Amino acid sequence: MKYGRTYNFSAGPAMMPEPVLEEIAAEMMNYRGSGMCVMEMSHRSKVFQQIRDEAEADLRKLMGIPGNYKVLFIQGGGTVQFAMVAMNLMKNGVGCYVETGAWSKKAIAEAKKYGEVKIVASSADKNFSYIPDCSNLDIPDNADYIYICENETINGTTYFQLPNTKGKVLVSDQSSMFLSRSCDVEKYGLIWGGVQKNVGPAGMAIVIIREDLIRDDLPKFVPTYMSYKTHADNDSLYNTPNCWAIYCCGKVFKYLLENGGLEAMHKRNVEKAGILYDFLDQSKLFTGAVRKEDRSLMNVPFVTPSKEQDADVVAASKEAGFDNLKGHKSVGGLRASIYNAMPKEGVEALVEFLTKYEKEHS
């Protein structure tokens, strides 16, 4: 690794592609002859408008977003979307939720403030270690949408098959898998992702919403900023946006386009995750925490037989030059987040370290 950088397995904010960081550094003091840094620029200037427009156009190209979907850049990170989804989409006041872990639980708790929530499937019975069967959900006729967290960052599960929504709108939190593989946008009514997991700096969410779901008859209590229509009508420039995040994300979109797009990313991600899962499957000390069919390619939680040993591995990993391998405080154990920007060499180095640790402690 260049610049003395470390293999950082953080769940987010997380690693960004090195060439992108280098480009940002090169443009820091004077962005392309503008005489200023992007941080200092008016969001109403021509030069920023171009940065914004290119970012959207590149994202549309990357994901193949159809023309009848809006792309919105909204501040407040992921958590704000838990409320915005419910406030904007609960026309009949009924949201169906699949409960698969910490992040869907938060979405459920928030939605309950604005309407009726029906949990149509859950994996709570086995500590959220799998994705429940969603092929024949009991969905009420007046349901406004079916909500999933498509990759549970903390629990380490992912959907390899989308739920059968029986014609209802599918809403997906893709925060920790956004742009990790190709995505058939037309299968969704709304996709959202906080960008600090797999794309750029913290503080922004990207929302991809089908136009017919944007309403102008929202309840009066909905703040102006929390209405998707506000952002859609103003190209995400209703107020000062997170200019810096839009700029950095735009760079990552270009980088992904230049490096084979989402299919190439997915291929790399399958290979990277495979290296780690293959190790876990044969290890006598470390155990993966998730059912095989539902294992995330982005977040890999695993445990040793004891909490004390988990802590010892984390400490040893720091000494060996890795960072952020401690599992989330709500589940414990260890977790390696291996997003797009984690090089294959980083995963190989981790497996080498774990192999050595196991040898020395058996």
Ligand X SMILES: *Cc1c(COP(=O)(O)O)cnc(C)c1O
Q: Which residues are catalytic?
A: 103, 173, 197
By the rule CB under 6 A, 340 interacts with ligand X: no
Residue from 52, 197, 251, 295 that binds ligand X (CB under 6 A)? 197
Q: Which residues contact 103 (CB under 8 A, 6 or more apart)?
A: 78, 149, 152, 153, 154, 173, 175
Q: Using CB under 6 A, count the residues that bind ligand X.
A: 12
Q: List the one residue from 79, 182, 283, 355 that touches ligand X (CB under 6 A).
A: 79
Supply the minimum distance, in Å, between the C-beta of residue 352 and ligand X. Answer: 28
Dmax of the chain from CA atoms?
Answer: 64
Query: Alpha-carbon Rg of the chain, whole angstroms?
Result: 21
Q: Tell me how far apart the alpha carbons of residues 139 and 219 are, in angstroms, rounded to a whole number.
A: 24
Q: Does 194 bind ligand X (CB under 6 A)?
A: yes
Q: Can residue 123 be called a binding residue for ligand X (CB under 6 A)?
A: no
77 binds ligand X (CB under 6 A): yes
Q: Is 157 in the site for ligand X (CB under 6 A)?
A: no
Query: Among the candidate windows 71-79, 92-100, 136-144, 285-293, which touches ligand X by CB under 6 A?
Result: 71-79
Query: How far apart, in whole angstroms, are the C-alpha atoms of residue 145 and residue 85?
Result: 10
Pairing of strands 116-122, 94-99: parallel
99 contacts 126 by C-beta, under 8 angstroms: no
Expressed in angstroms, the distance from the first to the final Cα of the chain is 31
Binding part of the chain for ligand X, among 34-42, 75-83, 230-238, 353-361 by CB under 6 A, reads: 75-83
Angle between helices 102-111 and 79-89 (to 10 degrees): 40
**Residue with smaller CB distance to ligand X, 177 or 354:** 177
Q: Which member of 8, 10, 74, 78 binds ligand X (CB under 6 A)? A: 78
Q: Does 111 bind ligand X (CB under 6 A)?
A: no
Rounded Cα distance, 200 and 55, in Å: 12
Which residues contact ligand X (rule: CB under 6 A)? 12, 77-79, 103, 149, 153, 173, 175-176, 194, 197
